[in-house]
Amino acid sequence: MSVDISTVKRVARLARIAVSEDDAARMTGELNTILGFVEQLNEVNVDGVEPMTSVTPMAMKKRTDLVTDGNKAADIVANSPVTEDNFFVVPKVVE
């Protein structure tokens, strides 16, 4: 895949980047070089290679999933003007 000046200008316009004519010509060569390096990756044989998240194998740290009430009910309603059995008491608004 190769990039020409019109593609560079189009991408610059989409990215809202001001690119002069000289910069567009220079970027064309730079982008083509980058794409050449990326195309080299297609030549690497990766058959049988498992996807990795890190270069060193490691197990994810997991905590036990326990259901609790949080033991924070009294702290939550502490600033409320009126509470009853750790619930907020509000005036009736619907009749």
Kindly report the CATH number that applies to the domain delimited by 5-42.
1.10.20
Q: Give the number of other CB atoms < 10 A from CB of residue 35.
A: 13
pTM of the model: 0.47
Question: In this structure, are residues 46 and 40 in contact, taking their beta carbons and an 8 Å threshold?
Answer: no
pLDDT for 89:
93
- Model confidence at 57, pLDDT cuts 50, 70, 90, reads confident
Question: In this structure, are residues 31 and 8 in contact, taking their beta carbons and an 8 Å threshold?
Answer: yes
* DSSP strands (E only) in 14-59: none
Question: In this structure, are residues 8 and 19 in contact, taking their beta carbons and an 8 Å threshold?
Answer: yes
